[in-house]
Homo-oligomer: A and B are copies of this chain.
Protein backbone atom coordinates (compact mmCIF):
# COMPACT_ATOMS: atom_id res chain seq x y z
CA UNK A 1 0.00 0.00 0.00
CA UNK A 2 1.35 3.44 -0.85
CA UNK A 3 -0.09 6.92 -0.57
CA UNK A 4 -0.22 7.56 -4.30
CA UNK A 5 -2.25 4.41 -4.98
CA UNK A 6 -4.67 5.30 -2.20
CA UNK A 7 -5.07 8.83 -3.53
CA UNK A 8 -5.97 7.40 -6.95
CA UNK A 9 -8.70 5.31 -5.28
CA UNK A 10 -10.00 8.39 -3.46
CA UNK A 11 -10.01 10.45 -6.67
CA UNK A 12 -11.93 7.78 -8.54
CA UNK A 13 -14.61 7.61 -5.85
CA UNK A 14 -15.00 11.28 -4.99
CA UNK A 15 -14.43 12.61 -8.51
CA UNK A 16 -13.23 15.70 -6.66
CA UNK A 17 -11.92 18.61 -8.73
CA UNK A 18 -9.58 19.52 -5.91
CA UNK A 19 -7.51 16.53 -4.94
CA UNK A 20 -4.00 16.91 -6.34
CA UNK A 21 -2.56 20.06 -4.81
CA UNK A 22 -1.67 20.25 -1.13
CA UNK A 23 -4.32 22.95 -0.75
CA UNK A 24 -7.76 22.99 -2.31
CA UNK A 25 -8.62 26.33 -3.90
CA UNK A 26 -12.31 26.99 -3.22
CA UNK A 27 -12.84 29.84 -5.67
CA UNK A 28 -16.48 30.37 -4.77
CA UNK A 29 -15.44 31.18 -1.18
CA UNK A 30 -12.18 33.00 -1.97
CA UNK A 31 -10.11 30.64 0.19
CA UNK A 32 -7.57 27.85 0.02
CA UNK A 33 -7.77 25.07 2.61
CA UNK A 34 -5.50 22.28 3.78
CA UNK A 35 -5.39 19.71 6.56
CA UNK A 36 -2.39 17.77 7.86
CA UNK A 37 -2.09 15.22 10.62
CA UNK A 38 0.71 14.36 13.02
CA UNK A 39 0.66 10.95 14.54
CA UNK A 40 2.79 9.95 17.51
CA UNK A 41 5.15 7.19 16.44
CA UNK A 42 4.83 8.10 12.75
CA UNK A 43 5.62 11.82 12.56
CA UNK A 44 7.12 12.48 15.96
CA UNK A 45 8.22 10.96 19.22
CA UNK A 46 7.40 12.49 22.60
CA UNK A 47 10.83 11.27 23.72
CA UNK A 48 12.36 13.91 21.47
CA UNK A 49 9.92 16.75 21.25
CA UNK A 50 8.24 18.79 23.95
CA UNK A 51 4.53 19.60 23.63
CA UNK A 52 5.55 23.21 22.95
CA UNK A 53 7.81 22.22 20.06
CA UNK A 54 5.12 19.92 18.74
CA UNK A 55 2.49 22.67 18.76
CA UNK A 56 4.80 25.13 17.01
CA UNK A 57 5.75 22.65 14.32
CA UNK A 58 2.22 21.35 13.76
CA UNK A 59 0.82 24.80 13.06
CA UNK A 60 3.81 25.86 10.95
CA UNK A 61 3.50 22.83 8.70
CA UNK A 62 -0.03 23.85 7.81
CA UNK A 63 0.87 27.53 7.44
CA UNK A 64 3.55 26.37 5.01
CA UNK A 65 0.97 24.62 2.79
CA UNK A 66 -1.23 27.71 2.67
CA UNK A 67 1.77 29.90 1.82
CA UNK A 68 2.71 27.50 -0.98
CA UNK A 69 -0.78 28.00 -2.43
CA UNK A 70 -0.09 31.74 -2.55
CA UNK A 71 -2.80 32.64 -0.02
CA UNK A 72 -2.53 34.40 3.35
CA UNK A 73 -2.98 31.98 6.30
CA UNK A 74 -5.77 33.41 8.46
CA UNK A 75 -7.59 30.78 10.54
CA UNK A 76 -7.09 27.22 11.72
CA UNK A 77 -8.98 24.49 13.55
CA UNK A 78 -7.10 22.07 15.78
CA UNK A 79 -8.12 18.50 16.54
CA UNK A 80 -6.09 17.05 19.38
CA UNK A 81 -6.46 13.54 20.71
CA UNK A 82 -4.40 12.53 23.71
CA UNK A 83 -4.10 9.91 26.42
CA UNK A 84 -5.72 10.93 29.73
CA UNK A 85 -2.39 10.78 31.59
CA UNK A 86 -0.92 13.72 29.64
CA UNK A 87 -3.33 16.20 31.17
CA UNK A 88 -3.58 19.96 31.37
CA UNK A 89 0.17 20.61 31.19
CA UNK A 90 0.41 19.02 27.78
CA UNK A 91 -2.55 20.95 26.38
CA UNK A 92 -1.28 24.23 27.77
CA UNK A 93 2.24 23.84 26.38
CA UNK A 94 0.96 22.56 23.05
CA UNK A 95 -1.27 25.59 22.59
CA UNK A 96 1.47 27.98 23.71
CA UNK A 97 3.68 26.40 21.07
CA UNK A 98 1.01 26.86 18.41
CA UNK A 99 0.62 30.53 19.32
CA UNK A 100 4.39 31.00 19.10
CA UNK A 101 4.56 29.13 15.79
CA UNK A 102 1.82 31.32 14.34
CA UNK A 103 3.50 34.51 15.61
CA UNK A 104 6.89 33.50 14.18
CA UNK A 105 5.59 33.51 10.61
CA UNK A 106 4.16 37.00 10.64
CA UNK A 107 5.45 39.56 8.17
CA UNK A 108 4.52 43.19 7.61
CA UNK A 109 0.87 43.67 6.75
CA UNK A 110 -0.11 40.14 7.79
CA UNK A 111 -1.70 39.13 11.12
CA UNK A 112 -0.88 35.85 12.88
CA UNK A 113 -3.13 32.89 12.15
CA UNK A 114 -6.05 32.74 14.57
CA UNK A 115 -7.07 29.47 16.21
CA UNK A 116 -10.82 29.43 15.59
CA UNK A 117 -11.71 26.17 17.33
CA UNK A 118 -11.35 22.45 17.03
CA UNK A 119 -11.89 19.30 18.92
CA UNK A 120 -10.37 17.58 21.93
CA UNK A 121 -10.74 13.85 22.49
CA UNK A 122 -9.14 10.97 24.33
CA UNK A 123 -7.01 8.32 22.64
CA UNK A 124 -4.15 5.87 23.18
CA UNK A 125 -1.63 8.01 21.30
CA UNK A 126 -1.24 11.69 20.61
CA UNK A 127 -2.90 12.56 17.33
CA UNK A 128 -3.01 16.07 15.92
CA UNK A 129 -4.90 17.19 12.84
CA UNK A 130 -4.89 20.86 11.92
CA UNK A 131 -6.97 22.39 9.16
CA UNK A 132 -5.95 25.80 7.90
CA UNK A 133 -7.74 28.42 5.84
CA UNK A 134 -5.98 30.91 3.58
CA UNK A 135 -7.55 34.11 2.28
CA UNK A 136 -7.07 34.65 -1.44
CA UNK A 137 -8.09 38.29 -1.94
CA UNK A 138 -6.47 39.54 -5.15
CA UNK A 139 -3.63 37.02 -5.04
CA UNK A 140 -2.89 34.56 -7.81
CA UNK A 141 -3.12 30.97 -6.54
CA UNK A 142 -0.51 28.35 -7.52
CA UNK A 143 -1.03 24.85 -8.81
CA UNK A 144 1.49 22.10 -9.33
CA UNK A 145 -0.02 21.67 -12.80
CA UNK A 146 1.09 25.13 -13.93
CA UNK A 147 4.80 24.73 -14.73
CA UNK A 148 5.58 25.54 -18.38
CA UNK A 149 8.68 25.05 -20.55
CA UNK A 150 10.88 28.12 -20.26
CA UNK A 151 9.95 28.84 -16.64
CA UNK A 152 12.74 29.04 -14.07
CA UNK A 153 12.90 27.04 -10.83
CA UNK A 154 13.30 29.34 -7.80
CA UNK A 155 14.03 28.03 -4.33
CA UNK A 156 14.17 29.47 -0.84
CA UNK A 157 15.40 27.77 2.32
CA UNK A 158 18.32 25.51 3.19
CA UNK A 159 17.70 21.86 2.42
CA UNK A 160 18.68 18.62 4.13
CA UNK A 161 19.05 20.04 7.64
CA UNK A 162 15.80 18.68 9.04
CA UNK A 163 16.42 15.17 7.72
CA UNK A 164 19.95 15.35 9.13
CA UNK A 165 18.56 16.41 12.49
CA UNK A 166 16.06 13.56 12.47
CA UNK A 167 18.83 11.06 11.72
CA UNK A 168 20.83 12.36 14.67
CA UNK A 169 17.80 11.97 16.92
CA UNK A 170 17.22 8.43 15.66
CA UNK A 171 20.85 7.68 16.52
CA UNK A 172 20.37 9.10 20.01
CA UNK A 173 22.65 12.06 19.22
CA UNK A 174 22.01 15.77 19.50
CA UNK A 175 25.61 16.86 18.88
CA UNK A 176 24.89 19.01 15.84
CA UNK A 177 22.33 21.28 17.37
CA UNK A 178 21.65 23.38 14.26
CA UNK A 179 20.38 20.33 12.41
CA UNK A 180 18.22 19.11 15.30
CA UNK A 181 16.76 22.60 15.68
CA UNK A 182 15.98 22.69 11.95
CA UNK A 183 13.95 19.52 12.50
CA UNK A 184 12.12 20.84 15.56
CA UNK A 185 11.58 24.40 14.47
CA UNK A 186 11.53 24.85 10.71
CA UNK A 187 11.82 28.31 9.14
CA UNK A 188 8.94 29.37 6.89
CA UNK A 189 9.07 31.81 3.98
CA UNK A 190 5.92 33.97 3.97
CA UNK A 191 7.60 36.89 2.19
CA UNK A 192 8.80 34.69 -0.67
CA UNK A 193 5.33 33.19 -1.14
CA UNK A 194 3.25 36.33 -0.86
CA UNK A 195 5.58 38.50 -2.95
CA UNK A 196 5.08 36.04 -5.78
CA UNK A 197 1.32 35.65 -5.40
CA UNK A 198 0.79 39.41 -4.96
CA UNK A 199 2.67 40.29 -8.13
CA UNK A 200 2.44 37.48 -10.63
CA UNK A 201 0.00 37.86 -13.52
CA UNK A 202 0.35 34.41 -15.02
CA UNK A 203 -0.24 30.79 -13.91
CA UNK A 204 2.62 29.39 -11.84
CA UNK A 205 3.53 26.39 -9.71
CA UNK A 206 4.67 26.54 -6.10
CA UNK A 207 5.06 23.83 -3.45
CA UNK A 208 6.68 23.58 -0.09
CA UNK A 209 9.45 21.03 0.29
CA UNK A 210 7.82 19.20 3.20
CA UNK A 211 8.33 15.82 1.53
CA UNK A 212 11.72 16.80 0.16
CA UNK A 213 12.84 19.15 -2.61
CA UNK A 214 13.23 16.31 -5.10
CA UNK A 215 9.72 15.06 -4.36
CA UNK A 216 8.21 18.55 -4.85
CA UNK A 217 10.06 19.03 -8.15
CA UNK A 218 9.06 15.58 -9.35
CA UNK A 219 5.39 16.22 -8.48
CA UNK A 220 5.36 19.58 -10.26
CA UNK A 221 7.02 18.08 -13.34
CA UNK A 222 4.71 15.05 -13.42
CA UNK A 223 1.53 17.11 -12.87
CA UNK A 224 2.54 19.70 -15.49
CA UNK A 225 3.80 17.18 -18.07
CA UNK A 226 7.23 18.81 -18.21
CA UNK A 227 10.83 18.00 -17.30
CA UNK A 228 12.55 19.96 -14.55
CA UNK A 229 16.30 20.26 -14.75
CA UNK A 230 18.29 21.60 -11.77
CA UNK A 231 21.88 22.15 -10.72
CA UNK A 232 22.51 20.38 -7.43
CA UNK A 233 25.35 22.81 -6.65
CA UNK A 234 22.93 25.72 -6.45
CA UNK A 235 20.80 24.24 -3.66
CA UNK A 236 21.58 26.02 -0.36
CA UNK A 237 22.40 23.64 2.49
CA UNK A 238 24.13 23.67 5.86
CA UNK A 239 27.63 22.19 5.43
CA UNK A 240 27.30 20.39 8.76
CA UNK A 241 25.24 17.66 7.09
CA UNK A 242 28.39 16.58 5.26
CA UNK A 243 29.05 14.43 8.36
CA UNK A 244 26.70 11.94 6.68
CA UNK A 245 28.21 10.04 3.73
CA UNK A 246 24.89 10.26 1.82
CA UNK A 247 24.44 13.96 2.50
CA UNK A 248 23.57 14.70 -1.13
CA UNK A 249 20.50 12.51 -0.80
CA UNK A 250 19.52 14.40 2.34
CA UNK A 251 19.78 17.74 0.52
CA UNK A 252 17.70 16.61 -2.45
CA UNK A 253 15.29 14.15 -0.85
CA UNK A 254 15.25 14.83 2.90
CA UNK A 255 11.84 16.01 4.12
CA UNK A 256 10.50 18.60 6.53
CA UNK A 257 12.62 21.61 5.63
CA UNK A 258 9.52 23.57 4.57
CA UNK A 259 11.33 25.65 2.03
CA UNK A 260 9.36 26.80 -1.00
CA UNK A 261 10.08 25.99 -4.62
CA UNK A 262 8.34 27.71 -7.51
CA UNK A 263 8.27 27.46 -11.30
CA UNK A 264 7.87 30.99 -12.66
CA UNK A 265 8.50 33.02 -15.81
CA UNK A 266 12.03 34.42 -15.56
CA UNK A 267 10.78 38.01 -15.29
CA UNK A 268 9.28 37.30 -11.85
CA UNK A 269 12.32 35.55 -10.39
CA UNK A 270 14.11 38.77 -9.52
CA UNK A 271 11.14 39.98 -7.43
CA UNK A 272 11.77 37.16 -4.96
CA UNK A 273 14.61 36.58 -2.52
CA UNK A 274 14.96 33.01 -3.80
CA UNK A 275 17.74 31.38 -5.81
CA UNK A 276 17.31 30.14 -9.35
CA UNK A 277 18.40 26.48 -9.32
CA UNK A 278 17.15 25.29 -12.69
CA UNK A 279 14.58 25.49 -15.42
CA UNK A 280 11.56 23.84 -16.93
CA UNK A 281 11.97 21.95 -20.23
CA UNK A 282 9.53 20.23 -22.55
CA UNK A 283 8.36 16.90 -21.09
CA UNK A 284 10.81 14.06 -21.82
CA UNK A 285 11.29 10.54 -20.55
CA UNK A 286 12.41 11.63 -17.07
CA UNK A 287 10.45 14.30 -15.13
CA UNK A 288 13.48 15.28 -13.04
CA UNK A 289 17.06 15.77 -14.20
CA UNK A 290 19.77 16.71 -11.70
CA UNK A 291 23.21 17.94 -12.66
CA UNK A 292 25.66 16.94 -9.90
CA UNK A 293 28.67 19.06 -10.91
CA UNK A 294 28.67 17.64 -14.42
CA UNK A 295 27.29 14.13 -13.66
CA UNK A 296 23.75 14.07 -14.93
CA UNK A 297 21.18 11.81 -13.24
CA UNK A 298 17.73 11.39 -14.77
CA UNK A 299 15.02 10.37 -12.29
CA UNK A 300 12.06 8.39 -13.64
CA UNK A 301 10.80 7.95 -10.09
CA UNK A 302 11.72 9.29 -6.67
CA UNK A 303 9.78 6.67 -4.69
CA UNK A 304 12.87 4.92 -3.33
CA UNK A 305 14.11 8.16 -1.78
CA UNK A 306 10.88 9.43 -0.23
CA UNK A 307 8.96 8.62 2.91
CA UNK A 308 6.11 6.08 2.87
CA UNK A 309 4.00 6.39 6.02
CA UNK A 310 2.60 2.94 5.56
CA UNK A 311 5.97 1.25 5.84
CA UNK A 312 6.46 2.74 9.30
Contacts and interface: CB of A to CB of B under 8 A. Distances in A.
Interface of A: 1, 3, 5-7, 9-10, 13-14, 16-19, 21, 23-24, 26, 28-31, 33-37, 39, 41-43, 74-75, 77-79, 81, 84, 87-88, 91-92, 95-96, 98-99, 114-125, 127, 129, 131, 133, 135, 309-312
Nearest to A92: B9
A120 B87 contact: no
Contact of A24 (B17, B33, B81, B116): B116
B29 A119 contact: no
A53 to B, nearest CB: 16
15 contacts: A3-B120, A19-B115, A21-B117, A23-B117, A29-B75, A33-B75, A33-B77, A35-B78, A35-B129, A37-B79, A39-B123, A39-B127, A122-B309, A123-B127, A124-B124
Number of copies: 2
A81 B125 CA distance: 12
A116 B18 contact: yes
A99 B9 CA distance: 13
A16 B309 CA distance: 34
Contacts of A75: 24, 26, 29, 33
Contacts of A124: 41, 124-125
Q: Which 9 A-B pairs rank lowest in CB-CB distance, beginning with the nearest?
A: A129-B129, A131-B131, A122-B309, A24-B116, A35-B77, A18-B116, A84-B310, A79-B129, A24-B117
Contacts of A310: 84, 122
Contacts of A7: 120
A259 to B, nearest CB: 20
Contact of A34 (B1, B99, B117, B125): B117
Contacts of A34: 77, 117
Contacts of A1: 84, 87-88
Contact of A133 (B26, B88, B123, B125): B26
A10 B309 CA distance: 30
Given A21-B117, A35-B77, A122-B311, 9 more contacts: A13-B95, A14-B98, A19-B116, A19-B117, A26-B133, A29-B75, A39-B121, A42-B123, A124-B125
Given A6-B120, A37-B127, A99 B133 contact: no
Contacts of A91: 6, 9-10
A95 B30 CA distance: 26
B29 A79 contact: no
A31 B134 CA distance: 13
